[in-house]
A and B are shown apart, each in its own frame.
Chain A
Amino acid sequence: MPPLADPAIAIRESVVVTRLDHVHLLRFRGDDARTAIDTLCAGMVRARDGQLQHVLLLDEAAHCFADAYLVADDEEYDLLVEGPTADALRAHLARHLSSGSDVQIEDRTMTHALLGLDGPYAWELVSRVAGAEAIGLPYLTFFHADDWTCYRAGKTGEFGYGLIVPRDARDALETLLLEKGEPLGVARGTLDALDQCALENFFFNVRREGREPVTPIELQLQWRVSYDKDAVGLEALRRHRATPVATRLTSLIADRTVTVGAEVHLDGEVVGRVVNAGWSATRGDCVALALLDVRWAHPGIETFTVWHGASAVPARSLTPPLLNNRSLFVSPQLHAYATRAEIAMPPLARQ
Protein backbone atom coordinates (compact mmCIF):
# COMPACT_ATOMS: atom_id res chain seq x y z
CA MET A 1 0.00 0.00 0.00
CA PRO A 2 1.54 3.32 -0.99
CA PRO A 3 1.96 5.95 1.74
CA LEU A 4 -1.28 7.87 1.80
CA ALA A 5 -1.86 11.48 2.61
CA ASP A 6 -4.20 12.99 5.17
CA PRO A 7 -7.66 12.74 3.57
CA ALA A 8 -8.73 16.12 4.93
CA ILE A 9 -5.96 17.75 2.89
CA ALA A 10 -6.12 15.42 -0.09
CA ILE A 11 -9.82 16.07 -0.65
CA ARG A 12 -9.03 19.73 -1.21
CA GLU A 13 -5.81 19.25 -3.19
CA SER A 14 -5.85 16.00 -5.10
CA VAL A 15 -8.26 13.08 -4.75
CA VAL A 16 -9.58 10.65 -2.13
CA VAL A 17 -11.18 7.24 -2.56
CA THR A 18 -13.82 6.40 0.02
CA ARG A 19 -15.95 3.36 0.72
CA LEU A 20 -19.52 4.59 0.95
CA ASP A 21 -20.91 1.60 2.82
CA HIS A 22 -23.60 3.63 4.57
CA VAL A 23 -25.53 4.21 1.33
CA HIS A 24 -28.44 1.95 0.38
CA LEU A 25 -28.82 1.10 -3.30
CA LEU A 26 -32.35 0.50 -4.48
CA ARG A 27 -33.46 -0.23 -8.03
CA PHE A 28 -37.03 0.53 -9.09
CA ARG A 29 -38.53 -1.22 -12.11
CA GLY A 30 -41.96 -1.47 -13.66
CA ASP A 31 -44.55 0.72 -15.31
CA ASP A 32 -45.24 2.52 -12.04
CA ALA A 33 -41.60 2.98 -11.07
CA ARG A 34 -41.64 6.65 -11.95
CA THR A 35 -44.84 7.22 -10.06
CA ALA A 36 -43.39 5.51 -7.00
CA ILE A 37 -40.30 7.70 -7.15
CA ASP A 38 -42.55 10.72 -7.54
CA THR A 39 -44.44 9.77 -4.39
CA LEU A 40 -41.26 9.40 -2.35
CA CYS A 41 -39.40 12.51 -3.51
CA ALA A 42 -40.40 15.87 -2.12
CA GLY A 43 -39.43 17.76 -5.28
CA MET A 44 -40.39 17.62 -8.94
CA VAL A 45 -38.69 14.69 -10.60
CA ARG A 46 -36.86 16.14 -13.57
CA ALA A 47 -34.04 13.70 -14.21
CA ARG A 48 -34.04 12.54 -17.82
CA ASP A 49 -32.43 9.34 -18.96
CA GLY A 50 -28.71 9.51 -18.26
CA GLN A 51 -29.10 12.07 -15.50
CA LEU A 52 -28.98 12.15 -11.73
CA GLN A 53 -31.01 14.35 -9.45
CA HIS A 54 -30.25 15.18 -5.85
CA VAL A 55 -33.53 14.45 -4.07
CA LEU A 56 -34.98 14.63 -0.58
CA LEU A 57 -37.33 12.18 1.10
CA LEU A 58 -39.48 13.46 3.96
CA ASP A 59 -41.47 11.67 6.59
CA GLU A 60 -45.12 12.47 7.22
CA ALA A 61 -44.20 15.23 9.65
CA ALA A 62 -42.15 16.92 6.89
CA HIS A 63 -38.91 16.16 8.66
CA CYS A 64 -35.96 14.85 6.66
CA PHE A 65 -36.05 11.11 6.23
CA ALA A 66 -33.39 10.53 3.61
CA ASP A 67 -30.96 12.31 1.32
CA ALA A 68 -30.69 10.52 -2.01
CA TYR A 69 -29.48 10.60 -5.57
CA LEU A 70 -32.01 9.53 -8.16
CA VAL A 71 -30.39 7.88 -11.18
CA ALA A 72 -32.61 7.72 -14.27
CA ASP A 73 -31.44 4.81 -16.42
CA ASP A 74 -33.73 4.22 -19.37
CA GLU A 75 -37.01 3.20 -17.75
CA GLU A 76 -35.41 2.09 -14.49
CA TYR A 77 -34.53 4.26 -11.53
CA ASP A 78 -31.88 3.84 -8.89
CA LEU A 79 -32.05 5.56 -5.55
CA LEU A 80 -28.79 5.90 -3.65
CA VAL A 81 -30.15 6.58 -0.16
CA GLU A 82 -28.40 8.04 2.86
CA GLY A 83 -29.90 8.50 6.29
CA PRO A 84 -32.26 5.77 7.49
CA THR A 85 -31.36 2.26 8.55
CA ALA A 86 -32.24 -0.54 6.17
CA ASP A 87 -35.24 -1.49 8.29
CA ALA A 88 -36.53 2.07 8.51
CA LEU A 89 -36.14 2.44 4.75
CA ARG A 90 -38.02 -0.76 4.07
CA ALA A 91 -40.82 0.28 6.44
CA HIS A 92 -41.05 3.71 4.78
CA LEU A 93 -41.43 2.15 1.33
CA ALA A 94 -44.00 -0.32 2.55
CA ARG A 95 -46.02 2.39 4.25
CA HIS A 96 -46.07 4.87 1.39
CA LEU A 97 -46.09 2.90 -1.84
CA SER A 98 -49.44 1.45 -2.82
CA SER A 99 -49.32 -2.33 -2.94
CA GLY A 100 -51.34 -2.58 -6.12
CA SER A 101 -48.94 -0.66 -8.30
CA ASP A 102 -46.61 -2.20 -10.86
CA VAL A 103 -43.27 -1.50 -9.27
CA GLN A 104 -40.54 -3.92 -8.27
CA ILE A 105 -37.90 -2.69 -5.87
CA GLU A 106 -34.63 -4.57 -5.76
CA ASP A 107 -32.33 -3.91 -2.83
CA ARG A 108 -28.86 -3.98 -4.32
CA THR A 109 -27.03 -2.89 -1.17
CA MET A 110 -25.72 -6.40 -0.54
CA THR A 111 -24.89 -7.23 -4.12
CA HIS A 112 -23.27 -3.91 -5.01
CA ALA A 113 -20.82 -1.51 -3.43
CA LEU A 114 -20.26 2.20 -3.80
CA LEU A 115 -16.89 3.93 -3.98
CA GLY A 116 -16.63 7.69 -3.90
CA LEU A 117 -13.88 9.73 -5.57
CA ASP A 118 -13.64 13.36 -4.49
CA GLY A 119 -11.13 16.12 -5.08
CA PRO A 120 -9.99 18.70 -7.67
CA TYR A 121 -8.31 15.92 -9.66
CA ALA A 122 -10.86 13.20 -9.06
CA TRP A 123 -11.74 13.38 -12.77
CA GLU A 124 -8.18 12.54 -13.68
CA LEU A 125 -8.21 9.39 -11.56
CA VAL A 126 -11.59 8.36 -12.92
CA SER A 127 -10.40 8.78 -16.50
CA ARG A 128 -7.33 6.61 -15.82
CA VAL A 129 -9.61 3.78 -14.82
CA ALA A 130 -12.78 4.43 -16.83
CA GLY A 131 -11.45 6.03 -19.99
CA ALA A 132 -11.60 9.43 -21.64
CA GLU A 133 -15.39 9.57 -21.42
CA ALA A 134 -14.99 10.67 -17.82
CA ILE A 135 -13.19 13.82 -18.89
CA GLY A 136 -16.23 15.50 -20.25
CA LEU A 137 -18.81 13.86 -17.99
CA PRO A 138 -21.14 16.65 -16.94
CA TYR A 139 -22.27 17.12 -13.36
CA LEU A 140 -25.18 14.85 -12.44
CA THR A 141 -24.80 12.45 -15.34
CA PHE A 142 -23.44 8.94 -15.52
CA PHE A 143 -22.16 6.27 -17.89
CA HIS A 144 -21.81 2.52 -17.79
CA ALA A 145 -18.47 0.75 -18.22
CA ASP A 146 -18.11 -3.03 -18.17
CA ASP A 147 -20.17 -4.13 -15.19
CA TRP A 148 -20.00 -0.91 -13.23
CA THR A 149 -21.48 2.55 -13.40
CA CYS A 150 -19.72 5.87 -12.95
CA TYR A 151 -21.75 8.92 -11.99
CA ARG A 152 -20.65 12.44 -11.30
CA ALA A 153 -21.97 13.90 -8.07
CA GLY A 154 -20.51 14.78 -4.69
CA LYS A 155 -21.09 16.75 -1.56
CA THR A 156 -17.73 18.33 -0.98
CA GLY A 157 -17.68 21.19 -3.47
CA GLU A 158 -14.87 19.47 -5.40
CA PHE A 159 -15.19 17.20 -8.41
CA GLY A 160 -17.02 14.12 -7.13
CA TYR A 161 -17.74 10.75 -8.66
CA GLY A 162 -19.35 7.55 -7.53
CA LEU A 163 -18.59 4.11 -8.82
CA ILE A 164 -21.27 1.46 -8.38
CA VAL A 165 -19.65 -1.96 -8.68
CA PRO A 166 -20.62 -5.55 -7.96
CA ARG A 167 -19.64 -6.11 -4.34
CA ASP A 168 -17.10 -8.81 -5.10
CA ALA A 169 -15.28 -6.49 -7.48
CA ARG A 170 -15.03 -3.63 -5.00
CA ASP A 171 -11.73 -4.49 -3.37
CA ALA A 172 -9.93 -5.00 -6.66
CA LEU A 173 -11.26 -1.73 -8.03
CA GLU A 174 -10.29 0.12 -4.87
CA THR A 175 -6.76 -1.27 -5.08
CA LEU A 176 -6.57 -0.26 -8.73
CA LEU A 177 -7.73 3.26 -7.93
CA LEU A 178 -5.20 3.69 -5.15
CA GLU A 179 -2.48 2.39 -7.44
CA LYS A 180 -3.42 4.58 -10.42
CA GLY A 181 -3.94 7.49 -8.09
CA GLU A 182 -0.50 7.42 -6.53
CA PRO A 183 1.01 9.91 -9.01
CA LEU A 184 -2.06 12.04 -8.34
CA GLY A 185 -1.54 12.25 -4.57
CA VAL A 186 -4.45 9.93 -3.79
CA ALA A 187 -5.52 9.26 -0.19
CA ARG A 188 -8.05 6.90 1.36
CA GLY A 189 -11.06 8.94 2.37
CA THR A 190 -13.17 8.70 5.50
CA LEU A 191 -16.78 9.59 6.08
CA ASP A 192 -15.69 12.17 8.66
CA ALA A 193 -13.47 13.89 6.11
CA LEU A 194 -16.32 13.96 3.59
CA ASP A 195 -18.70 15.26 6.25
CA GLN A 196 -16.30 18.07 7.13
CA CYS A 197 -16.12 19.09 3.48
CA ALA A 198 -19.90 19.05 3.22
CA LEU A 199 -20.02 21.30 6.29
CA GLU A 200 -17.56 23.75 4.72
CA ASN A 201 -19.48 23.82 1.45
CA PHE A 202 -22.99 23.91 2.87
CA PHE A 203 -24.08 20.52 1.57
CA PHE A 204 -26.94 19.07 3.58
CA ASN A 205 -25.91 16.24 5.88
CA VAL A 206 -28.87 14.00 6.68
CA ARG A 207 -26.95 12.34 9.51
CA ARG A 208 -26.17 15.59 11.30
CA GLU A 209 -28.46 18.60 10.86
CA GLY A 210 -30.84 16.24 9.10
CA ARG A 211 -31.62 14.61 12.47
CA GLU A 212 -33.10 17.84 13.83
CA PRO A 213 -36.91 17.95 14.12
CA VAL A 214 -37.22 20.70 11.54
CA THR A 215 -38.40 20.91 7.95
CA PRO A 216 -36.65 21.73 4.67
CA ILE A 217 -37.67 25.34 5.15
CA GLU A 218 -35.54 25.75 8.27
CA LEU A 219 -32.76 23.79 6.59
CA GLN A 220 -32.74 25.93 3.42
CA LEU A 221 -33.68 22.91 1.30
CA GLN A 222 -36.72 24.33 -0.45
CA TRP A 223 -34.93 23.89 -3.77
CA ARG A 224 -35.42 20.18 -3.30
CA VAL A 225 -39.10 20.54 -2.55
CA SER A 226 -42.13 21.38 -4.68
CA TYR A 227 -45.37 22.76 -3.32
CA ASP A 228 -47.13 21.90 -6.57
CA LYS A 229 -47.23 18.14 -6.22
CA ASP A 230 -48.18 15.40 -3.84
CA ALA A 231 -45.54 13.34 -2.07
CA VAL A 232 -44.83 12.03 1.40
CA GLY A 233 -44.59 14.92 3.85
CA LEU A 234 -45.73 17.70 1.55
CA GLU A 235 -49.10 18.10 3.18
CA ALA A 236 -47.47 18.72 6.54
CA LEU A 237 -44.95 21.01 4.88
CA ARG A 238 -47.65 23.11 3.27
CA ARG A 239 -49.33 23.49 6.68
CA HIS A 240 -46.04 24.40 8.31
CA ARG A 241 -45.38 26.98 5.65
CA ALA A 242 -48.65 28.73 6.33
CA THR A 243 -47.13 30.40 9.39
CA PRO A 244 -43.80 32.21 9.15
CA VAL A 245 -40.93 29.90 9.96
CA ALA A 246 -39.01 30.75 13.11
CA THR A 247 -35.48 29.48 12.54
CA ARG A 248 -33.01 29.08 9.71
CA LEU A 249 -29.75 27.18 9.29
CA THR A 250 -26.80 29.57 9.27
CA SER A 251 -23.03 29.12 8.82
CA LEU A 252 -20.81 30.21 11.70
CA ILE A 253 -17.04 30.48 12.09
CA ALA A 254 -15.17 30.38 15.41
CA ASP A 255 -11.47 30.43 16.20
CA ARG A 256 -11.88 27.71 18.81
CA THR A 257 -13.82 24.47 18.82
CA VAL A 258 -17.55 24.50 19.40
CA THR A 259 -19.78 21.45 19.71
CA VAL A 260 -23.17 20.26 18.61
CA GLY A 261 -25.91 21.35 20.98
CA ALA A 262 -24.11 24.47 22.16
CA GLU A 263 -26.24 27.59 22.61
CA VAL A 264 -25.66 30.58 20.39
CA HIS A 265 -26.04 34.02 21.94
CA LEU A 266 -26.28 37.50 20.49
CA ASP A 267 -26.18 40.52 22.74
CA GLY A 268 -26.83 38.40 25.81
CA GLU A 269 -29.86 36.59 24.42
CA VAL A 270 -30.14 33.00 23.26
CA VAL A 271 -30.78 33.07 19.52
CA GLY A 272 -30.19 29.45 18.54
CA ARG A 273 -28.08 26.32 18.86
CA VAL A 274 -25.35 24.52 16.99
CA VAL A 275 -26.48 21.46 15.01
CA ASN A 276 -23.25 20.58 13.15
CA ALA A 277 -19.63 21.52 13.84
CA GLY A 278 -16.10 20.51 12.93
CA TRP A 279 -12.56 21.78 12.81
CA SER A 280 -11.46 22.80 9.31
CA ALA A 281 -7.85 21.89 8.60
CA THR A 282 -8.13 23.79 5.33
CA ARG A 283 -9.30 27.04 6.90
CA GLY A 284 -7.62 26.73 10.26
CA ASP A 285 -10.75 27.47 12.26
CA CYS A 286 -13.96 25.82 13.43
CA VAL A 287 -16.92 25.69 11.10
CA ALA A 288 -20.44 25.23 12.44
CA LEU A 289 -24.07 25.24 11.37
CA ALA A 290 -26.62 26.66 13.78
CA LEU A 291 -30.39 26.95 13.73
CA LEU A 292 -30.89 30.60 14.53
CA ASP A 293 -33.88 32.88 14.93
CA VAL A 294 -34.65 34.05 11.41
CA ARG A 295 -34.15 37.66 12.45
CA TRP A 296 -30.45 36.97 13.07
CA ALA A 297 -29.97 34.22 10.53
CA HIS A 298 -27.85 36.31 8.16
CA PRO A 299 -24.19 36.32 7.19
CA GLY A 300 -22.03 39.21 8.26
CA ILE A 301 -22.91 39.36 11.96
CA GLU A 302 -19.65 39.51 13.94
CA THR A 303 -20.85 39.39 17.54
CA PHE A 304 -22.25 35.95 18.19
CA THR A 305 -20.96 33.89 21.10
CA VAL A 306 -21.21 30.14 21.33
CA TRP A 307 -21.18 28.55 24.78
CA HIS A 308 -18.68 25.71 24.88
CA GLY A 309 -18.84 24.25 28.39
CA ALA A 310 -18.33 27.27 30.60
CA SER A 311 -16.58 29.45 28.09
CA ALA A 312 -17.99 31.79 25.50
CA VAL A 313 -16.42 31.37 22.10
CA PRO A 314 -16.76 34.38 19.83
CA ALA A 315 -18.28 33.49 16.50
CA ARG A 316 -19.39 35.26 13.35
CA SER A 317 -21.73 34.33 10.53
CA LEU A 318 -20.45 33.95 7.01
CA THR A 319 -21.88 33.29 3.54
CA PRO A 320 -21.18 29.72 2.53
CA PRO A 321 -19.50 28.05 0.69
CA LEU A 322 -16.57 28.86 2.94
CA LEU A 323 -13.85 28.01 0.44
CA ASN A 324 -12.85 29.04 -3.06
CA ASN A 325 -12.73 25.37 -3.97
CA ARG A 326 -9.81 24.54 -6.20
CA SER A 327 -12.17 22.55 -8.41
CA LEU A 328 -13.72 25.81 -9.62
CA PHE A 329 -10.48 26.66 -11.35
CA VAL A 330 -9.52 23.25 -12.73
CA SER A 331 -10.76 22.26 -16.18
CA PRO A 332 -10.56 18.60 -17.16
CA GLN A 333 -10.31 19.68 -20.79
CA LEU A 334 -7.29 21.86 -20.17
CA HIS A 335 -5.43 20.91 -16.98
CA ALA A 336 -3.67 18.03 -15.20
CA TYR A 337 -2.50 17.28 -11.64
CA ALA A 338 1.10 17.26 -12.81
CA THR A 339 0.93 20.90 -13.86
CA ARG A 340 -1.36 22.12 -11.10
CA ALA A 341 1.07 24.79 -9.92
CA GLU A 342 0.47 26.66 -13.18
CA ILE A 343 -3.22 27.26 -12.55
CA ALA A 344 -4.10 30.71 -11.24
CA MET A 345 -6.32 30.64 -8.17
CA PRO A 346 -7.47 33.02 -5.44
CA PRO A 347 -6.86 32.24 -1.71
CA LEU A 348 -8.53 29.04 -0.57
CA ALA A 349 -10.31 30.25 2.57
CA ARG A 350 -13.04 32.84 2.15
CA GLN A 351 -13.29 35.51 4.79
Chain B
Amino acid sequence: MTSALEARIDHREAVLARIRMVLIESLGVRRTPDEIDPDTALFGSGLGLDSIDAVELVVQLDTDFNVQLPNDVFGRAEMRTVNGLVDLVLAAQAAEIADATAR
Protein backbone atom coordinates (compact mmCIF):
# COMPACT_ATOMS: atom_id res chain seq x y z
CA MET B 1 0.00 0.00 0.00
CA THR B 2 1.52 3.26 -1.04
CA SER B 3 2.36 5.70 1.68
CA ALA B 4 0.64 8.40 -0.34
CA LEU B 5 -2.60 6.41 -0.13
CA GLU B 6 -2.12 5.84 3.59
CA ALA B 7 -1.49 9.53 4.16
CA ARG B 8 -4.66 10.38 2.26
CA ILE B 9 -6.65 7.93 4.34
CA ASP B 10 -5.19 9.23 7.58
CA HIS B 11 -6.14 12.74 6.56
CA ARG B 12 -9.65 11.61 5.66
CA GLU B 13 -10.07 9.91 9.03
CA ALA B 14 -8.91 13.08 10.78
CA VAL B 15 -11.57 15.15 8.98
CA LEU B 16 -14.15 12.45 9.71
CA ALA B 17 -13.30 12.72 13.41
CA ARG B 18 -13.81 16.49 13.34
CA ILE B 19 -17.10 16.20 11.48
CA ARG B 20 -18.32 13.69 14.04
CA MET B 21 -17.51 16.16 16.81
CA VAL B 22 -19.46 18.92 15.04
CA LEU B 23 -22.44 16.61 14.82
CA ILE B 24 -22.16 15.69 18.48
CA GLU B 25 -21.28 19.08 19.94
CA SER B 26 -23.01 21.58 17.69
CA LEU B 27 -25.98 19.58 16.47
CA GLY B 28 -26.61 17.70 19.65
CA VAL B 29 -26.43 14.21 18.15
CA ARG B 30 -26.45 11.91 21.16
CA ARG B 31 -23.97 9.30 20.02
CA THR B 32 -20.33 8.56 20.71
CA PRO B 33 -18.06 9.20 17.71
CA ASP B 34 -17.53 5.55 16.88
CA GLU B 35 -21.31 5.00 16.79
CA ILE B 36 -21.62 7.42 13.88
CA ASP B 37 -20.90 5.26 10.83
CA PRO B 38 -19.36 7.24 7.96
CA ASP B 39 -22.09 6.54 5.41
CA THR B 40 -24.95 7.27 7.81
CA ALA B 41 -27.61 9.51 6.32
CA LEU B 42 -27.96 12.91 7.97
CA PHE B 43 -31.61 13.74 7.21
CA GLY B 44 -34.83 11.79 7.16
CA SER B 45 -33.51 8.61 8.67
CA GLY B 46 -29.94 8.02 9.83
CA LEU B 47 -29.10 10.74 12.31
CA GLY B 48 -32.59 12.20 11.92
CA LEU B 49 -31.56 15.82 11.49
CA ASP B 50 -34.21 18.22 10.21
CA SER B 51 -34.39 21.36 8.10
CA ILE B 52 -33.34 23.64 10.95
CA ASP B 53 -30.31 21.45 11.60
CA ALA B 54 -29.44 21.71 7.92
CA VAL B 55 -29.16 25.46 8.29
CA GLU B 56 -26.87 25.04 11.27
CA LEU B 57 -24.71 22.53 9.39
CA VAL B 58 -24.20 24.91 6.49
CA VAL B 59 -23.04 27.56 8.95
CA GLN B 60 -20.71 25.16 10.77
CA LEU B 61 -19.17 24.03 7.49
CA ASP B 62 -18.45 27.65 6.74
CA THR B 63 -17.12 28.74 10.11
CA ASP B 64 -15.15 25.59 10.98
CA PHE B 65 -14.00 24.38 7.60
CA ASN B 66 -14.34 27.32 5.23
CA VAL B 67 -16.77 25.43 3.02
CA GLN B 68 -19.28 27.67 1.29
CA LEU B 69 -22.35 25.80 0.30
CA PRO B 70 -25.52 27.32 -1.10
CA ASN B 71 -28.25 26.82 1.47
CA ASP B 72 -30.75 25.52 -1.09
CA VAL B 73 -31.76 22.26 -2.71
CA PHE B 74 -28.57 22.02 -4.72
CA GLY B 75 -26.45 22.58 -1.67
CA ARG B 76 -28.41 20.05 0.32
CA ALA B 77 -27.85 17.44 -2.38
CA GLU B 78 -24.16 17.61 -1.54
CA MET B 79 -24.59 16.83 2.12
CA ARG B 80 -26.66 13.71 2.51
CA THR B 81 -24.31 11.60 4.64
CA VAL B 82 -21.48 12.06 7.09
CA ASN B 83 -19.01 11.00 4.37
CA GLY B 84 -20.62 13.56 2.08
CA LEU B 85 -19.65 16.28 4.55
CA VAL B 86 -16.10 14.91 4.70
CA ASP B 87 -15.95 15.03 0.90
CA LEU B 88 -17.02 18.68 0.91
CA VAL B 89 -14.31 19.58 3.39
CA LEU B 90 -11.62 17.66 1.52
CA ALA B 91 -12.65 19.28 -1.75
CA ALA B 92 -12.54 22.74 -0.19
CA GLN B 93 -9.13 22.04 1.29
CA ALA B 94 -7.83 20.79 -2.05
CA ALA B 95 -9.17 23.92 -3.74
CA GLU B 96 -7.45 26.12 -1.20
CA ILE B 97 -4.14 24.35 -1.78
CA ALA B 98 -4.58 24.62 -5.55
CA ASP B 99 -5.29 28.35 -5.18
CA ALA B 100 -2.27 28.86 -2.96
CA THR B 101 0.01 26.93 -5.33
CA ALA B 102 -1.26 28.84 -8.32
CA ARG B 103 -0.35 32.17 -6.79
Contacts and interface: CB of A to CB of B under 8 A. Distances in A.
Interface stretch (B54-62, B70-78, B95-103): B70-78
Interface residues of A, number: 30
A244 B40 CA distance: 19
Interface in A219-269: 220-223, 227, 248-249, 251, 266-267, 269
Contacts of B84: 319
A190 to B, nearest CB: 24
Contacts of A314: none
B35 interface: yes
A54 interface: yes
B2 A267 contact: yes
Given A267-B2, A299-B87, A222 B37 contact: yes
A118 B47 CA distance: 23
Given A320-B81, A329-B73, A220 B5 contact: no
A346 B70 CA distance: 14
Nearest to B47: A223
B39 A300 contact: no
A300 B4 CA distance: 13
B76 A222 contact: no
A223 B87 contact: no
B80 interface: yes
B72 to A, nearest CB: 10
Contacts of A308: none
Nearest to A301: B5
Given A139-B44, A300-B12, A321-B81, A220 B35 contact: no
Interface string B1-22: 1100100110011000000000
Given A54-B45, A267-B1, A301-B5, A222 B35 contact: yes
Given A140-B44, A220-B37, A223-B40, A328 B77 contact: yes
Nearest to B37: A220
A300 B8 contact: yes
A295 interface: yes
B80 A321 contact: yes
Contact of B39 (A54, A202, A295): A202
A170 interface: no
A220 B90 CA distance: 22
A180 interface: no
A328 B37 contact: no
Nearest to B5: A301
Interface string A174-212: 000000000000000000000000000010000000000
Contact of A328 (B1, B35, B40, B76): B76
A298 B12 contact: yes
Given A267-B1, A299-B87, A223 B45 contact: yes
B28 interface: no
Given A267-B2, A319-B83, A328-B73, A222 B36 contact: yes
A324 interface: yes
B11 to A, nearest CB: 10
A319 B74 contact: no
B44 A319 contact: no
A295 B37 contact: no
Interface in A52-99: 54
A266 B6 CA distance: 12
Nearest to B39: A220
Contacts of B9: 295-296, 298, 301
Which 6 interchain pairs have the tightest Cβ spacing?
Answer: A220-B37, A319-B83, A222-B35, A223-B40, A328-B77, A220-B39
22 contacts: A54-B45, A217-B37, A220-B37, A220-B39, A222-B31, A223-B36, A223-B46, A227-B35, A248-B37, A251-B39, A267-B1, A269-B1, A296-B1, A298-B13, A298-B38, A299-B83, A300-B12, A301-B9, A303-B5, A319-B87, A320-B83, A321-B81
Given A202-B39, A298-B9, A319-B39, 5 more contacts: A222-B35, A223-B41, A248-B37, A267-B1, A298-B12
